């Protein structure tokens, strides 16, 4: 009797774990279905020309999403300019140069930065970063795309550092030993042996870090000014912009279900989803490629 | 996470996998059916309880009859959120059996909540729109309007800015982008940074209709695209306090000493007035409006008592304390 009940519980638990495994796929599919179901009607509610026009002002039924898409891209680009060099170099320092005890303190500290709530970052942005940038760069206002980029860089850096450092650590010691044996200096080894050997892991780290920045909402909503301006040139980095995420977050609460505005907001969500999907596909491409290559080396 | 040139990963996973199986098998022995038998009803109970709470929030009248606690959900205008909080706190002190939860989010949010039956009172800093009424009727809701206070919208600038007064026309030209430098209206040679609340704010809509369009319903002028849309009243005050280029607007109740309030006139040649209780009461200050509470149909029961109390001397005393203008009843 007891053995039988054990068998049943065991089977139940196996089924439960199976369900949990499949449920994440199910949820993603359901979310995708929902996004398409609610977002695609936007294409029928709003003429395509209007949807891709240059003015976003939903009160007057102006649903031009181009400035929002460009706004998100500019902030992400700015964040990558800051986070990529900074993150990769920090990872190199921790993995290759820092003494063991320092590396053991530094890595958890950098990862602690990842746990900082984005609303706290936004708060720091409003009170410290934005006034500072306005004074130093002599801008009309400190609430700009660049302010957002700086803070989002701070969000992306821990991801980039953590994953790049793992990738660097996974480069076999024999690679470095071989390099040193040829009489190469430490710097030359890092730049021409270790980093190239770990480049796929580093690329994955960069893509994942940037994937985080494009979806970040609270910080950008607080510090970028949310003005739906069409970015005209590179100088737009130092002007207020409005991102897709901030638009959805600030307008979703107000909108009447089923209205064109509602559908357009879901359509924006769909575009965001496609952006992050693209990032993830690139990441998985990079890591599967890497597996094949290491298999080739081993065989 | 391990990425990069790793070769031992597969083996490691294999080992971990068998360990996991063993662990799970052991723990499955430990889980007795009894625990499930106890936990399940508990879980169902919790779900049921939360569900019942929601029901009560929607039917405050019924709850009052059954003699239990009365829940009211009061949601909407950010301009009114402090006022609504003070009212709710004082009223709950006087009537301990009532609990009122107050949230902001903007007038549009409040009205949407009333329509979706997730709030029993919607605070609104503008009148409900015809479309919203239509949508409400579709959902079986009859919005009932009550003016609970009046508010002046103060136009604020940085203390360093030498400008002291503006006409409505000048304000309209600034926000629609026709005037872009303070020197064009007699100030210093500085760019104008325009601040506004988000579009879900009743204050935004009121400012658009009464100031930018000067009350002309056929006027289709809108905010210029480079107007910064900030998510909160505090955000506007902070930026105006720190930035000498900025101009913003906010409910009078939010304005602090750190910023300069401008005197406004209806037209050039007419007198300028600063916003305060007196100028609003006498309809001298041109940017003032009513604040509303919307309920589903004529309020009854505990809801009616609450709204009556808000309009009473004590309720209106709170209005004045918070920098709004009481309604004369």
> Over 60: is that where the pLDDT of B25 sits?
no
A226 touches B at CB < 8 Å: yes
Note whether B243 contacts A: Cβ–Cβ < 8 A: yes
Specify whether the CB–CB gap between B81 and B123 falls below 8 A.
Answer: yes
Interfacial A residues in 254-283 facing B (CB < 8 Å): 254-257
Judge whether B303 and B121 are in contact, CB under 8 Å. Answer: yes
Report pLDDT for A290. Answer: 61
Give the model's pLDDT for residue A1.
58
pLDDT bin (cut points 50, 70, 90) of residue B78 is confident
Distance from CA of A287 to the nearest CA of B (A): 8
Work out the mean pLDDT of chain A and round it to a whole number. 88
Residue A225 DSSP class: B
Nearest CA in chain B to A144: B228
Residue B88, min C-alpha distance to chain A (Å): 23
Please report which helix (H) or strand (E) contains residue A281, including its range. Answer: helix A260-298
Helix (H, G, I), strand (E, B) or coil at B168: helix
Identify the pLDDT of residue B273.
93
Are the C-beta atoms of residues B121 and B293 closer than 8 Å to each other? yes
- pLDDT exceeds cutoff 80 at B57: no
Is the ipTM reported for this complex over the cut 0.85? no
CA distance B24 to chain A (A): 8
- Strands (E) across chain B are located at 70-76, 98-103, 121-124, 143-157, 165-167, 193-197, 228-230, 246-251, 260-261, 263-265, 288-296
State the nearest Cα–Cα gap between A81 and chain B, in angstroms: 23
Q: How far apart are CA B228 and CA A183, in angstroms?
A: 59
Residue-wise pLDDT for B248-280, tens only, equals: 998 888 888 899 999 999 888 889 999 988 888
Contacts of B246 in chain A (CB under 8 A): 141
Q: CB distance A57–B4 less than 8 Å?
A: no
Alpha-carbon span B126 to B144, nearest angstrom: 14
Give the pLDDT score at B3: 40
Band (B111; pLDDT cuts 50, 70, 90): very high
Summarize the confidence of residues A105-130 as an average pLDDT: 88
Check CB contact under 8 Å for A59 and B208: yes
For chain A, which domains are there?
40-298 (1.10.3720.10)
pLDDT band at A68; cut points 50, 70, 90: very high
Chain A residue whose CA is closest to B232: A222
Q: Which residues of B touch A67 (CB under 8 A)?
A: 225
Q: Which residue of B has its CA nearest to A223?
A: B230
Helix or strand (DSSP H, E) at A2:
helix A2-39
pLDDT average, residue stretch A257-264 = 88
- What Å distances lie between residue A88 and A94, A118, A158, CA to CA? 10, 22, 10
Q: Do B200 and A197 touch (CB under 8 A)?
A: no
Q: Give tens-digit pLDDT for A223-260.
A: 999 999 888 887 888 999 999 999 999 888 777 778 88
* Mean pLDDT (whole number) for B122-143: 90
Nearest by Cα to B259 from B170, B115, B155, B158: B158
Cβ proximity of B72 and B303 under 8 Å:
yes
Q: Which of A135, A143, A164 to mutate to test the interface with B (most CBs of B within 10 A)?
A: A143
Contact B28 A10 (CB under 8 A): yes
Task: Output DSSP code: residue A142.
Answer: S
CB of A157 less than 8 A from some CB of B: no
**Using one digit for the tens of pLDDT, what is the confidence trace for A72-105?**
999 999 999 999 999 999 999 999 899 989 999 9
Task: Please tell me which residue of chain B has the smallest CA distance to A6.
Answer: B29
Residue B115 to residue A256, Cβ atoms within 8 A: yes
Give the DSSP H or E segment for B67: none
């Amino acid at each position: 009797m007891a053995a039988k009940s054990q068998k049943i519980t065991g089977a139940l638990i196996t089924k439960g774990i199976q369900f949990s495994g499949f449920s994440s796929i199910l949820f993603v599919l359901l979310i995708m279905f929902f996004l398409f179901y609610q977002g695609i009607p936007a294409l029928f509610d709003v003429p395509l020309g209007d949807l891709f026009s240059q003015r976003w002002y939903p009160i007057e039924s102006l649903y031009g999403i181009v400035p929002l898409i460009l706004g998100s891209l500019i902030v992400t680009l700015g964040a990558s300019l800051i986070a990529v060099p900074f993150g990769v170099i920090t990872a190199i320092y921790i993995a290759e140069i820092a003494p063991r005890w320092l590396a053991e303190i530094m890595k958890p500290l950098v990862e602690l930065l990842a746990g900082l709530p984005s609303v706290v970052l936004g708060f720091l942005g409003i009170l410290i970063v934005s006034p500072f940038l306005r004074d130093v760069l002599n801008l009309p206002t400190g609430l700009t795309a660049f302010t957002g980029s700086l803070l989002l860089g701070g969000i992306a850096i821990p991801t980039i550092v953590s994953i790049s450092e793992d990738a660097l650590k996974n480069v076999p010691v024999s690679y470095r030993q071989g390099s040193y044996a040829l009489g190469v200096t430490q710097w030359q080894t890092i730049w021409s042996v270790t980093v190239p050997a770990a480049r796929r892991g580093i690329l994955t780290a960069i893509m994942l870090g940037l994937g985080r920045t494009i979806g970040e909402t609270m910080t950008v909503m607080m510090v970028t000014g949310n003005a739906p301006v069409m970015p005209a040139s590179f100088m737009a980095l130092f002007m207020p912009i409005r991102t897709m995420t901030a638009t959805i977050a600030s307008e979703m609460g107000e909108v009447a279900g089923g209205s064109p505005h509602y559908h357009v907001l879901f359509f924006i969500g769909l575009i965001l989803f496609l952006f992050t999907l693209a990032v993830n596909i690139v990441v998985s491409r990079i890591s599967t490629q890497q597996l094949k290559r290491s298999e080739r080396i081993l065989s | 996470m391990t990425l990069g040139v790793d070769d031992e990963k597969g083996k490691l996973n294999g080992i971990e996998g068998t360990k996991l199986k063993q662990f799970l098998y052991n723990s499955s022995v430990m889980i007795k059916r009894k625990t499930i038998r106890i936990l399940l009803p508990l879980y169902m109970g919790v779900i049921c309880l939360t569900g019942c709470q929601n029901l009560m929030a929607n039917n405050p009248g019924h709850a009052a009859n059954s003699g239990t606690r009365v829940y009211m959900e009061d949601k909407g205008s950010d301009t009114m959120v402090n006022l609504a909080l003070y009212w709710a706190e004082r009223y709950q002190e006087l009537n301990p059996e009532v609990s009122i939860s107050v949230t902001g989010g903007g007038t549009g949010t409040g009205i949407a909540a009333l329509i979706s039956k997730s709030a029993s009172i919607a605070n609104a800093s503008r009148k409900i729109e015809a479309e919203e009424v239509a949508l409400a009727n579709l959902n079986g809701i009859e919005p009932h309007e009550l003016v609970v206070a009046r508010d002046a919208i103060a136009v604020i600038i940085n203390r360093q800015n030498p400008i002291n007064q503006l006409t409505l026309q000048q304000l309209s030209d600034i926000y629609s982008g026709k005037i872009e430098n303070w020197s064009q209206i007699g100030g210093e040679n500085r760019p104008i940074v325009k601040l506004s609340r988000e579009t879900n704010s009743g204050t935004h809509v009121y400012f658009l209709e009464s100031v930018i369009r000067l009350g002309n319903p056929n006027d289709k002028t809108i905010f210029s695209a480079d107007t910064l849309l900030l998510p909160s009243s505090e955000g506007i005050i902070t930026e105006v306090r720190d930035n000498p280029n900025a101009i913003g607007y906010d409910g009078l109740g939010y304005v602090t000493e750190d910023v300069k309030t401008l005197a406004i006139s209806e037209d050039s040649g007419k007198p300028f007035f600063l916003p305060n209780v007196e100028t609003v009461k006498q309809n001298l200050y041109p940017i003032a409006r009513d604040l509303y509470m919307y309920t589903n149909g004529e309020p009854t029961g505990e809801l009616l008592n609450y709204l009556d109390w808000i309009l009473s001397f004590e309720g209106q005393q709170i209005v004045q304390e918070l920098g709004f203008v009481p309604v004369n009843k």
